[in-house]
Structure formats: structure tokens, C-alpha cells
């Protein structure tokens, strides 16, 4: 492999056929380049999806009231289902192995919050203390809503850092009172949410206070919980059981998916990750297919090289060259061309992916495209194997050349 004479011969042959060698090698380079770019893009897509799901607890289950789409027990489709505090208590008692649970009132029509002379367009939500876990809310100062706040219907609020930045600027928010739709609430905490801008423009207040101060009834919009770790594999069973229990109470068909919409975060996460894995496999198939096309080109060129050098090979064998040495020469040239151009394509692909990561901002569904080191090493190993395969058949043909026949060849 390190015979200087062999290397001189290989370089002389490459110089003699510069354009042919470049065009052949470029096909290999392009194949590995596209493989790296596609894998980087696939990882960027996967990271973006994981980022989306990381905003809420993976083991969270969300129950939303809707409208019936099926007739049932004399009720026509279109019946509106409205959750109440009794539904929240029913879910609590029906599935007792939850980790954390909360009801939630969205209050979309309340979007103006003020402090002194400053106003901002924000949203208020009525919740229980357990809401901090499914939403993965990070309380950075003070505290969140607690059980005593719920019991006594206190007028307290945990506000986002965004509200602090816009209304309080440099003033300490804890202990101050903000005006929400004409009612004063005492700020007891400040939070940050890794979700989007909408998640960080909220004020959380006790659900009981929301009902008494703004609606005058016991209705809620949503029930949210996190299931216990030992129940992670049976979340489908749990959610369907809850649907049946709620169906019995509200008189709708248990198979009516639109009456109560259930979002199983773990199930959806696994479904999407399965899709991402499928995309990764598809990318490998496309990339390897492109690379194989380049390798076939290298193999064909090496066949031409063997044909052009038939006389030379015959002379070598007549002077005592062994078939093994002939095979080694052809394989060495094939591996060198494949590895050189392949490595160039690999570096160019990784560089483009890194440049994209540095200069293109993340979006909601595409984040930090990257190519892992292990994948790059696998690609290099693939290149070596590809070089061996590209040179094997021409090398075997060369090793079978008979000296007499070779010397007679034109």
C-alpha cells in the first residue's frame, strides 16, 4: 500500500486522464455530499419536532370538550359538551394514579392587562396548581398558584417574564397589583415557558377566582393531567376509559371522537418520532443509491483502465508479477479515487450543514441541523468499502489476463 512506485504509477495514470478521473470522482463526491446534507436536514426536522413536544410534558394527557358528531339516545349531532368542576372531580376519582392534574379556563376574551399607566395585550388563564407540570412552567421568582388560593378564591396571579418586561420594566413585580379586566390581582410569582410567544404572554390565576369573578358559573374548558411512569405504556387505555366515563355522564356515544377530544402527548410523540425514523431511513436509501451510482461509474472507469493497460499488465505478469500484486494495484487506485473525492464531498456536506446551523435561525419545526460524528465515520467506512467494491471486478479481470494474450492485444 505504501510502495512509492505504485503511487507514482497511480498519479501518472490520473494525470493522463484528468477529466475522466474528475468526472468519475465527482459522482462519488456528489453522492456523499447529498447524503450528508439530507441527513443534516432530517436531523434538523427531527430536532424541530422534538422541540415542539418538549414544550409540554411527554406523559401529559389533555381532555377538551367539543361537540357531538353522532346521534345518541335521542340527542342529535351538534350537542355542545361543557365541562364543569364535577367533571374535573370525576376524572380525579376515576384515574387516581395521576401525577399532577389541573382544570383550565382559557378566557380568550380577556386580553388586556395593565399596571399603573402601562397596558399590554396578554391572556389570562384560570388553573389549578398542577398546571405547572404538564405545561412545564418554570417559576423564576415567587410562586405559582397554590391549593389555598383555590380554596379561598384569592385574587393572585403568576405572570410571565414578558409581562414583567412590558409593564414593570425595572420595577419589582412581586407584591404589586395588576388590573385584569377591571379587577386587581396581586402578583405572587413570575414564570418562563419554553413554548412559543403565546405561552409567554399569560397570567395564571386560580380557576375558582376566575369562575367567581368573570363567569359566575362552574364551567371549565379543559382537563389536563400527567400519567404515572408505570402507566406510560397504557395511556391509550386510560384515555379511552376516561372518554367512556365522560360519555356516560354527558350522554354521548363513547366512540364519538369529536365530543371529547383527547390529546395523548406520548402517543403523538411516538407516532411523529416513528415518522422521523422512517424519513431518516428513506434519506439513507436515497443517499446510498446516489453513492452507488457514483461507485458504478468508478468501477466502469477502472474496467476501461484495465483494458487500456492490458499490454502493460501482460508485461508485468511476464516479468513475474503475481495476480495478487495486480489486484492490489487496481484496488489501490480505485480506493484512492473513491476516498479522495468522497472525503471532499463529506467535508463539503458537513460544512454546508454547519453553515446553515450558524446563519439560518431556528423555526418552529426546523432546528439545529447537524450530522453526528458517528454518522460521518460510518460514511467514511462506507467509502472505503465502496472503493473496494468499485475496484474488485476490474482487479479480478486484470489478474486473469494471460501474458501471451495481453502482448497480442492492440
Each residue's pLDDT tens digit, 157-174? 999 999 999 999 888 999
**How does 129-146 read in b/e, with b if 16+ C-beta sit within 10 Å?**
bbbbbbbbbeeebbbbbb
What integer is the mean pLDDT of 295-303?
70
DSSP per-residue letters across 104-150: EE--TT--EEEETTEEEE-EEEEE-GGGGTTTTEEEEEE----HHHH
Q: State the pLDDT at residue 267.
A: 80
pLDDT reading at 261 higher than 80 = yes
What integer is the mean pLDDT of 206-211?
95
Residue 310: pLDDT band by 50, 70, 90 thresholds? low
Q: Cα-Cα-Cα-Cα dihedral of 268, 269, 270, 272, to 10°?
A: 80
What integer is the mean pLDDT of 244-271?
86
What are the pLDDT digits (tens) for 39-79? 888 888 777 777 766 677 778 888 998 898 888 887 888 88
Radius of gyration of the chain (CA): 34
Q: State the pLDDT at residue 381.
A: 77
Q: Of 61, 60, 80, give the one whose Cα is nearest residue 69.
A: 80
Domain map (residue ranges) of the chain: 4-53+270-408, 67-258
Distance, CA of 136 to CA of 116 (rounded, Å) = 30
Q: State the pLDDT at residue 290.
A: 73
Q: State the pLDDT at residue 198.
A: 80
What are the pLDDT digits (tens) for 96-109? 888 899 999 988 88
Q: State the pLDDT at residue 34.
A: 82
Q: State the pLDDT at residue 164.
A: 92
Residues 6 or more apart in contact with residue 194 via CB below 8 angstroms: 54, 55, 136, 138
**Do residues 235 and 226 lie in contact, with contact meaning Cβ atoms separated by under 8 Å?**
no
Q: Of 63, 146, 158, give the one whose Cα is nearest residue 104.
A: 63
pLDDT reading at 406 higher than 60 = no
Least confident of 200-214, 275-289, 301-315, 332-346: 301-315
pLDDT reading at 130 higher than 80 = yes
Across all residues in the chain, what is the average pLDDT?
81
Distance, CA of 221 to CA of 131 (rounded, Å) = 14
Q: State the pLDDT at residue 204.
A: 95
DSSP per-residue letters across 253-289: -TT-TTTEEEEEHHHHHHHHHHHHHHHHHHHHHHHHH
Distance, CA of 337 to CA of 407 (rounded, Å) = 28
Distance, CA of 410 to CA of 407 (rounded, Å) = 8
Distance, CA of 54 to CA of 192 (rounded, Å) = 14
Q: State the pLDDT at residue 157.
A: 95
pLDDT reading at 257 higher than 70 = yes
The span from the first CA to the last CA of the chain, in angstroms, equals 30
Q: State the pLDDT at residue 189.
A: 95
pLDDT reading at 28 higher than 70 = yes
Q: What cell does 336 get?
A: 484512492
Least confident of 187-196, 358-367, 395-404: 395-404
Cα 376 to the center of its chain, rounded Å: 20
Distance, CA of 295 to CA of 24 (rounded, Å) = 9
Q: State the pLDDT at residue 404.
A: 59
pLDDT reading at 408 higher than 80 = no
Among the ranges 15-24, 40-49, 179-188, which has the highest mean pLDDT value? Answer: 179-188
pLDDT reading at 304 higher than 90 = no
pTM: predicted TM-score of the whole model, two decimal places: 0.67
Q: What cell does 114 get?
A: 395593565
Amino acid at each position: 500500500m505504501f510502495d512509492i512506485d505504485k503511487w507514482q504509477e497511480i498519479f501518472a495514470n490520473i494525470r493522463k486522464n484528468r477529466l475522466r478521473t474528475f468526472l468519475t470522482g465527482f459522482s462519488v463526491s456528489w453522492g456523499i455530499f447529498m447524503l450528508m446534507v439530507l441527513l443534516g436536514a432530517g436531523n434538523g426536522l427531527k430536532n424541530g419536532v422534538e422541540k415542539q413536544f418538549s414544550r409540554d410534558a411527554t406523559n401529559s394527557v389533555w381532555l377538551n370538550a367539543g361537540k357531538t358528531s353522532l346521534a345518541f339516545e335521542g340527542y342529535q349531532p351538534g350537542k355542545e359538551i361543557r365541562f364543569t368542576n364535577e367533571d374535573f372531580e370525576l376524572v380525579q376519582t376515576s384515574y387516581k394514579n395521576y401525577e399532577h392534574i389541573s382544570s383550565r379556563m382559557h378566557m380568550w376574551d380577556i386580553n388586556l392587562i395593565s399596571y399603573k399607566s402601562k397596558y399590554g395585550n396578554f391572556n389570562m388563564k384560570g388553573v389549578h396548581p398542577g398546571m405547572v407540570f404538564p405545561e412545564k412552567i418554570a417559576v423564576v421568582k415567587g410562586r405559582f398558584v397554590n391549593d389555598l388560593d383555590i380554596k379561598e378564591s384569592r385574587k393572585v396571579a403568576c405572570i410571565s417574564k414578558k409581562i414583567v418586561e412590558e409593564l414593570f420594566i425595572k420595577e419589582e413585580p412581586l407584591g404589586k397589583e395588576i388590573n385584569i379586566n377591571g379587577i386587581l390581582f396581586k402578583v405572587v410569582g413570575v414564570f418562563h415557558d419554553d413554548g412559543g410567544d403565546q405561552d409567554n404572554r399569560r397570567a395564571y390565576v386560580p380557576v375558582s377566582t376566575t369562575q367567581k369573578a368573570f363567569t359566575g358559573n362552574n364551567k371549565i374548558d379543559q382537563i389536563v393531567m400527567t400519567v404515572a411512569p408505570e402507566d406510560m405504556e397504557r395511556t391509550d387505555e386510560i384515555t379511552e376509559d376516561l372518554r367512556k366515563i365522560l360519555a356516560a355522564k354527558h350522554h354521548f356515544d363513547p366512540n364519538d371522537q369529536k365530543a371529547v377530544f383527547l390529546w395523548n402527548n406520548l402517543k403523538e410523540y411516538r407516532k411523529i418520532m416513528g415518522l422521523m425514523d422512517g424519513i431518516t431511513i428513506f434519506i439513507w436509501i436515497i443517499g446510498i443509491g446516489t453513492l452507488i451510482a457514483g461507485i458504478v461509474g468508478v468501477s466502469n472507469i477502472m474496467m476501461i483502465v484495465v483494458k487500456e493497460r492490458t499490454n502493460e499488465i501482460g508485461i508485468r505478469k511476464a516479468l513475474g508479477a503475481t495476480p495478487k500484486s495486480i489486484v492490489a494495484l487496481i484496488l489501490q487506485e480505485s480506493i484512492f479515487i473513491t476516498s479522495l473525492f468522497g472525503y471532499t464531498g463529506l467535508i463539503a456536506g458537513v460544512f454546508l450543514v454547519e453553515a446553515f446551523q450558524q446563519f439560518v435561525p431556528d423555526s418552529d419545526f426546523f432546528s439545529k441541523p447537524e450530522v453526528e460524528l458517528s454518522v460521518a465515520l460510518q460514511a467514511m467506512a462506507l467509502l472505503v468499502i465502496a472503493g473496494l467494491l468499485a475496484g474488485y471486478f476490474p482487479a479480478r479481470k486484470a489478474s486473469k489476463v494471460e501474458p501471451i494474450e495481453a502482448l497480442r492485444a492492440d
